[in-house]
Amino acid sequence: MAKHEALLPHMQEIADLDAVLGLLSWDEETYAPAGARAGRGLQTATLEGLKHQRLTRPELGDLIEAALADPSVTGTDRVMVERFRRTRSLATRVPEALVKALAEARSLAMAAWGKAKNSDDFKAFGPHLERVVSLTRQRAEALGSPTDELYDALLDEYEPGTTAATLRPVFAELRGALVPIVEAIAGAPRPDTSFLEQRFSSEAQWQFTLRLLEDLGFDMQHGRQDRSAHPFTGSVGQKDVRVTTRIDEENPISAIFSTIHECGHGLYEQGFAPEHHRTPLGVAPSMGIHEGQSRLWENQVGRSRAFWQRYLPMMKTYFPGTLDGVDLDTFYRAVNVVEPSLIRTEADEVTYNLHILLRFELEQALLTGDLQVDDLPGVWRERMQRDLGIQSEGDTEGCLQDIHWAWGAIGYFPTYTLGNLYAAQIMATFEAADPNVWADVAAGRFAPLLAWLREKIHRRGYTAWAGDIMADAVGAPLQVAPLVRYLKGKFGPLYGLSL
């Protein structure tokens, strides 16, 4: 038996613990009663502690090093062992007590966040956020930053090998390209969206979004959709992928694009190679690539004219009488309206990344202590005014809108913008490879695009670093230009502008 085979039961055990933790998290955000939060936090802390104990056993380290010393362990087997060593190395740096404390604090913070968001009461959430930030800071210190910036220790978990210093020039280039586009569009006539300002049955929205999931290729035999306050995707193993959406009877667009976005994540989770299941290779190499999948389906596909050529007539059958007289071009312009908005998840493609750049700055300041939690609401409003020219009256549409910081996911937000950049590169490459792509989309044929993504990205899992997988798929490193070209090429004609 090759030395790496002795590691497989250990890898599978960790994967199973992650799956159970994922199930608990999914239940907490969907069906768990409000009074179960405290107990759920303790359960999560126990499982996180158990996982930490398993990963940090000295004998596991010995098995890993023995496998890497075996010259017969090559190719993807060797990569698998190296990935497991990275996972164990990160775990050994963080004390078990901190792991458990953070797990419990996250659970309580997410419960407090939900209540605070509903009641617009940041003060009730503030102490929970303070504790999560403090524990996350301790965790970053324990992990150790590869640079002199503490933030990089956390960013490396979501986007391995990436640092804040490498992102800043990319984000600066993007901001420099976006601001003139936003300013030019601001002076153009606004598309008509009045026909969306009416009641759309929640049950009809639910059925329509289920239809979209199945049409796009999401396997409902190995997945499901539910409702949550903040849409998300959770994997309980490759054969059990859960997505959620948020339904608002006065805003059908929210549910539609939330579902398509999460479907992109779900398709990725369902697309890992079966032989990598329950191993360190059966995951995404970075959250930027993961977000690239969701943003591609949501924006490049879901907000395309070809997509609504297919689905506007169908939507009219789900909502009889509500969209009578609305033609394709009117609807297409409406779902692509560009204007500064308070809510990130409802932001248009042009202004969306400005929301991310704001969060990128603020979460670094929270981590270092340059920004105190009590000051977050006021600073948030100031930055929104600076970057987007608007600000919320309360905090529900301000610093309480996202669950990420309650979850302790400091360092995650940049992956959304990386995802947008990746998505633009991916779609430009696929368009060049398949000139029939938009005819297929207009006919509801998504299999060619999904098959290409399966081959180039999904099935590769974590067999290579994110940058290498992307370079192989699109033939170039991360670039800003493809996204800018896409935005100018789409929104210039939409608004009658030469961008």
Residues marked as catalytic: 262
Q: Which two tokens stand for residue 381?
A: 């409003």
The Cα 458–Cα 143 span in angstroms is 29
Residue 471, class by beta-carbon neighbours within 10 Å (0-12 exposed, 13-18 middle, 19+ buried)?
Answer: middle
The CA-CA-CA angle for residues 58, 64, 69, to 5°, reads 125
Q: How many whole angstroms from its chain centre is CA 339?
A: 22
> Radius of gyration (Cα) for the chain, nearest Å?
23
Helices 202-216 and 252-270, axial angle in degrees (round to 10): 30
Please name the residues in contact with 174: beta carbons below 8 A apart, sequence gap of 6 or more.
353, 357, 417, 421, 480, 483, 484
Structure tokens at 135: 């524990």
**Among 301, 295, 336, residue whose Cα is nearest residue 444:** 301
Distance CA 361, CA 367 (A): 10
The residues, ordered by sequence, that sit 6+ positions from 101 with a Cβ below 8 Å of its Cβ are: 45, 135
Query: Using CA atoms, how far apart are residues 190 and 185, in angstroms rounded to an integer?
Result: 9
21: part of which helix (H) or strand (E)? helix 8-30
d(CA 446, CA 196): 27
Sort residue 444 into left (φ over 0), alpha (ψ -120 to 50) or beta. Answer: left
Q: Which contiguous run of DSSP H or E holds residue 352? A: helix 352-368
Give residue for tokens 């959620």.
244
The single-letter DSSP state of residue 272 is: S
Task: In whole angstroms, give the CA distance from residue 394 to residue 259.
Answer: 27
Rounded Cα distance between 429 and 71, Å, is 38
Residues 6+ apart with CB under 8 A from 336: 191, 303, 348, 349, 490, 491, 494
**Alpha carbon distance 158, 405 (integer Å):** 14
**In whole angstroms, how far apart are CA 128 and each of 34, 132, 135, 269, 405?**
17, 6, 11, 31, 10
**Partners of 235 in beta bridges:** 241
Q: Please give the C-alpha separations between residue 279 and each of 61, 161, 373, 454, in angstroms, as whole numbers.
A: 16, 21, 38, 18
